[in-house]
Structure 1
């Protein structure tokens, strides 16, 4: 079995969303911007060899799963949001063997002049 988080991958970066995730009442009421970076491990040898869209995983479909999950269930913690997205990606795409997800929150309610708060999860498909 291959080591996790190595090999072929699909990468989507800076997916922007507006949402109401967070602990504080202001976050639930006003919302804020979130940015998501994804890496999905999958064997890309067949689409690389055949150049046929039907043999790969659609980037648009990945985005749709992330967007639907992001918008469906409000979470207090970024960790829970990221886990929900990982779970849905595994459920939706059988060829995905691992996921690295980073969720960035540039307007986190902390006193920082510049920068952003973020979390990153590394998950592999359960056997």
Structure 2
């Protein structure tokens, strides 16, 4: 299946288990891979035959910045569900949510949650 990938989209959100995370917020990165047939737009060169990735960006932004989640797992699930519900041409979606600076007293390069969801037939 063909794919459209939006990589390292950056948003500011208030997600986390700790009250400080919900109050202060932090930066999150989101990657989205959309499995969608691209033969028609490849031949037509017309925006209406594909998924407008600018619209996808703003849909994800609305989800990440619009409400607070305790778990980035729930955030990823909501993104996947909304994209599958909004764009009927998507057969499968992979969502990665990266929390680059979790509030732990250890040093590592962030936490990533990755989920993959398929359209129910």
TM-score, normalised with respect to structure 1: 0.91
Structure 2, gaps ≥5 residues long: none
Distance 2:35 2:28 in 1: 23
SS state at 2:106 partner: coil
Alignment of 1:27-66 (within 5 A): 27-66=21-60
Superposition deviation, residue 50 in structure 1: 1.0
Farther off after superposition, 10-19 or 106-115: 106-115
Q: Distance in 1 between matches of 2:68 and 2:24?
A: 13
Residue 70 of structure 1, CA deviation: 1.3
**1:98 aligns to what?**
92
Point out where structure 1 has 5 or more consecutive residues left out of the alignment.
1-6
Shift of 1:105: 0.5
Is 1:84 aligned with 2:78? yes
What is the TM-score normalised by the length of structure 2? 0.95
Specify the alignment match of 2:113 in structure 1: 119
Which SS does the other structure have where 1:126 is aligned?
coil
Q: CA deviation at 1:29?
A: 0.8
RMSD value, Cα? 1.0
1:10 aligns with 2:23: no
CA distance, structure 2, for counterparts of residue 126 and residue 71 of structure 1: 28
Give 2:62's aligned residue.
68
- Indicate if the aligned counterparts of 2:101 and 2:110 stay in contact, CA closer than 8 A: yes
How far off its partner does 1:114 sit?
3.6
